């Protein structure tokens, strides 16, 4: 009788060892879960900036000087890309859009200069595209006709999405009031450009 009881206890112990913990399949609350939620943290000072769409992006311009540089580069990219479109594009619709970009971003550049002149501690940025934008412009220069129109139209959607995100982000989280106002006002214009770019049919 004692032998039967001992065997039963041993069997129960073995079965218990083979059971999985109740929470083994539960989501792992690791740091990687934070990335899935769209949250990012600036490890330098442990601060985060909330973009208007709810996402956090530490790569977007945060200081007044960074924003001024990025805004000037965006304008320069749009103007130069539009000039290429006027000479290498085929579609009248694309060329009309390109002329609109030249006019609008020339005005934006002038307004940015005026705003920067009033912003404390901000140096007027260089009016040239950044290296990544310069590469994209070179790629466009290698195309012509319908192939150019297709590439330019796609690039314009991408460029205006990025510009809109940058402007909205600084309008919310920026530190320089004059530039925040500029970002907010310019964002509405860029949003209109984005819709026009999406409507292009090269």
Is 1 part of any domain? no
Mean pLDDT for the chain overall: 79
Domain tally, the chain: 1
Residue 134 pLDDT: 96
Is 52 part of any domain? no
Is 104 part of any domain? yes
Q: Which domain holds residue 190?
A: 64-199
Reply yes or no on whether the pLDDT at 96 is more than 50. Answer: yes
Residue 48 pLDDT: 33
Kindly report, residue by residue over 160-190, the tens digit of the pLDDT: 999 999 999 999 999 999 999 999 999 999 9
Calculate the alpha carbon distances from 34 to 30, 58, 114, 147 in Å. 8, 14, 40, 41
Is 176 part of any domain? yes
Is 46 part of any domain? no
Is 22 part of any domain? no
Residue 184 pLDDT: 97
Rounded to 10 degrees, what is the CA torsion of 184, 185, 188, 193? Answer: -120
Domain CATH code at residue 153? 1.20.1260.10
CB 121 within 8 A of CB 192: no
CB 167 within 8 A of CB 187: yes
Is 8 part of any domain? no
Question: Given the structure tokens 């129960």, which residue do they identify?
Answer: 12
Is 23 part of any domain? no
Kindly report, residue by residue over 101-150, the tens digit of the pLDDT: 999 999 999 999 999 998 888 888 888 999 999 999 999 999 999 999 99
């Amino acid at each position: 009788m004692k032998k039967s009881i001992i065997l039963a206890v041993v069997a129960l112990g073995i079965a218990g060892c083979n059971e999985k913990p109740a929470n083994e399949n539960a989501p792992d609350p690791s740091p990687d879960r934070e990335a899935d939620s769209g949250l990012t943290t600036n490890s330098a000072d442990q601060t985060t900036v909330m973009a208007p769409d709810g996402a956090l992006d530490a790569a977007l311009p945060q200081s007044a000087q960074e924003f001024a540089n990025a805004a000037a580069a965006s304008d320069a990219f749009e103007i130069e890309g539009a000039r290429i479109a006027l000479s290498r594009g085929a579609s009248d619709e694309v060329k009309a859009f390109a002329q609109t970009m030249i006019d609008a971003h020339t005005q934006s550049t002038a307004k940015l200069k005026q705003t920067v002149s009033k912003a404390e501690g901000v140096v007027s940025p260089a009016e040239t595209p950044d290296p990544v934008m310069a590469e994209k412009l070179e790629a466009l220069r290698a195309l012509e006709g319908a192939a150019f129109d297709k590439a330019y139209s796609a690039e314009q959607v991408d460029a205006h999405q990025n510009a809109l995100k940058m402007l909205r982000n600084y309008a919310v989280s920026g530190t320089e009031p004059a530039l925040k106002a500029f970002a907010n006002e310019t964002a509405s214009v860029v949003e209109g450009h984005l819709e026009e770019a999406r409507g292009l049919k090269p």
